[in-house]
Structure formats: C-alpha cells, structure tokens
Amino acid sequence: MYKIGVDAMGGDYAPKEQILGAMMAIKNIPDIEINLYGDKDIIAQYLTDSTRITVIDAKYAIPMGEKNPIQAIKTHKDSSMVVALNSLRTDESDAVVSSGATQALIAGAHILVKRMKGFKRTAIAPLLPRVSGGHTILLDSGANLSIKPEHMLQQAYFAKIYAQKMLNIEDPKVGLINIGTEDGKGREFDQEVFKLFKETDLFSFYGNVEPKVVLDPPCDILISDGFTANIVMKSVEGAAKGMGQLLKKHLTNSLSGKIGALFASKSLKEFKKELSAEEIGGAIIFGLYKPVIKAQGASKAYGFYNGIRQAANVCREKVFETVKEYLDTQKDFEDE
C-alpha cells in the first residue's frame, strides 16, 4: 500500500472537489491509502465513504492568492498544506498531492521537505499532451526564475529518469526551449546551457527547440529556466482556451455549423478533454526527497484524482529511488 497525503483545503474548489477526487482515487487505485489533511468538521460534510481514508485535522487553509508564501508556510503550522508536507518527513505519507497556491507549495516543499542529496535546484514539471499521442515533460515550470546552467543539467537528468520510468521512453531526448533552432541562438544563458548539454553524457540532447512545435516537439523533454518555461505553459493554456472559445463562436454562428457541432459533439468533447488541464493532471516537483504533486488550482474532482493517480504511479515505479541511486553513483552531482 502506498500512502498518499492529500491537502484537502488547497484549490479553487476545495475542499469539496479534493474530497470527491480522493474517494474516486480509492475506488480506482487498489494499492493506495489516503491521508486527508484538512478541517475535519468541513471534511465530514463531503466524505461519504472513508474506506482506506484517514482524516487528519488541520484547520487553516493557505489562500490561493497568498502574497507572502514563505511567511504563510512559517506562520501557519496548522495549515493543511504544512501538515501534509510534514507527513513526508515522518513517513506518514509516501507522496503528497496539493492543488493549493503554487508558490506556497514550492516554498513549503523547500522549507519542510528535504532536497534529494546532491540535487541543487528543484523544478516543477507538468506534462504537456502531444498531437501524436503521449506526453512531453515541460520544466522548470516556475520553481526557479533564475538558475545556473549546471543546475539545469541536473533537472534535465531527473526528467530523463522520470520519462524512462513513467512514460516508458527508453532514450528520452532533451530539447532546450529557444527562439530559434540553430546552435548559438538565444540569450547568453541559453548559449551556455546549450554548450553544457552538448558535452554531457548524462542524457541525449536534441538541441534547440522552438515553442512553435510545443504540442509535437522532436524531443521528449522541453527545458528552460523557471520564468521561460512558465511563460510557455501559460501561453499554451491561453491559446488552447482562446481557440476553444473561437471554435464555439464559429460553430454557433450558422445553422449548418450548429448541425455539424451536433453530429461532431462526441469528437469535440474528446478534443476538449485531450486539451484540458484536468486531464493532464498534476505537475511533479523534481529534486525533493519524496514526491510532491502540484495539481491545478482549478482542479475539479477528476483532475485531482489524476494527480493522486500520478503520485501512486511515481511511488509504484520507484522513480525517486532510481534517481537517488543514479545520483549516488554520479560524482558530478556531489553536494557542494
């Protein structure tokens, strides 16, 4: 049994959707137990089936728009997020899932969960859908706005192991997000990273990749600094949302469009599902001692369930254990 810690109070629709998602996960994933961290009186209103679910009382919910995440984490020891993260240290949980405020979760993970030995900068890595099927790992999606090239090397390496274990890709290719495909493109920083990646034996480096192929890149991992990759993720999200609205507008503009939409409704629903953040599930934080999954803030039950499923998969596939073993054998990654 893998013990998944769930922050029940974080998220735009918390705690209702988080609790429904947890019950859905218990129903569908036989080898997990869930620790549900949150206000037990409120949880009691929504928890209709407590099979393999333990409720741990944690009254405070860190607000979604928390302006001072570090202070929030340090002040609110009784918050569902802090108590959930602390459960990793005590081995009460094997992994934690939260759809709470991203920056607070990152700050909390840094303060309360140890880094993996030798790992310098954690990274957040969501999965992007691919037109040709499967997923692309995108990182760092917001943990480190500025970073050194050698830290990005470690992150890319972690992503490689993740891709091997979780996405079953034997030799994952790493692509550097850039404004052109030629060698030497981009800022000074990108040029340094390019040089370092070109020389490394730690993973296969594809080269520079432009975001105009972001949904079908010639590589399995797309990497940049935490500002740039976050901008890519949010631009894709914005374009997808905007296109969905435009499509709807055009289809409802004419009678034949309406009839067509009726016939095609199943296909259009599948299309929407494939692109929804709900379906993609959570982003994983690389480089911590144990897995922390950030589910989308706007997660409904199904999206949150997918985050729990991802956490269970990471445990089952022993992703973190494998990275630890690799790191131990790599003198490049020794602690400073």
Structure-token match 């240290």, residue found:
89
- Reported as half-sphere exposure (CB side, CA atoms, 13 A), residue 4 has a value of 32
Report the residue number, 189 or 326, with the smaller CB distance to its own copies: 189
Tokens describing residue 93: 């949980």
Residues 241-270 within binding reach of its own copies (CB under 8 A): 241-243, 245-247, 249-251, 253-254, 256-257, 259-268, 270
Q: Does 146 bind its own copies (CB under 8 A)?
A: yes
Give the residue among 93, 137, 146 at the shortest CA–CA distance from 288. 93
**Exposure of 102 by Cβ count < 10 A (0-12 exposed, 13-18 middle, 19+ buried)?**
buried
Pick 24 or 247: Cβ nearer its own copies: 247
Going 171 to 177 to 181 to 184, the CA torsion angle's sign is negative
Q: Point out which span in 14-22, 105-113, 226-234, 308-316 binds its own copies (CB under 8 A).
A: 226-234
Q: Least distance (Å) from its own copies to the CB of residue 131? A: 5
Q: Within a 10 A sphere around the Cβ of 305, how many other Cβ atoms?
A: 27
Q: List residues bridging with 222 in a β-sheet.
A: 138, 175
- CB nearer its own copies, residue 1 or residue 264: 264
Burial of residue 59 (number of CB atoms within 10 Å: 0-12, 13-18, 19+): middle
Closest distance to its own copies from the beta carbon of 240 (Å): 6
Site string for its own copies, 91-120 (x = CB under 8 A): ------------x-----------------
1 binds its own copies per the rule CB under 8 A: no
Q: Give the residue, chosen from 87, 228, 296, 306, that forms a contact with its own copies under the rule CB under 8 A.
A: 228
Strands (E), the chain: 2-7, 32-38, 53-57, 95-98, 123-125, 127-129, 135-139, 173-177, 204-209, 221-223, 283-286, 292-294
By beta-carbon proximity to its own copies, the closer residue of 50 and 181 is 181
Contact between residue 138 and residue 126 where contact means Cβ atoms under 8 Å apart: yes
The answer to the question of residue 71 lying near its own copies (CB under 8 A) is no
CB nearer to its own copies: give 196 or 251.
251
Binding residue for its own copies (CB under 8 A) from 12, 216, 321, 328? 216
How many positions of this chain bind its own copies (CB under 8 A)?
60
Q: Is 73 helix (H, G, I), strand (E, B) or coil?
A: helix
- Pick from 18, 154, 230, 306 the residue near its own copies by CB under 8 A: 230
- List residues near its own copies by CB under 8 A: 65, 67, 103, 129, 131, 142, 145-146, 177, 179-180, 182, 186-187, 210-216, 227-228, 230-232, 234-243, 245-247, 249-251, 253-254, 256-257, 259-268, 270-271, 274-275
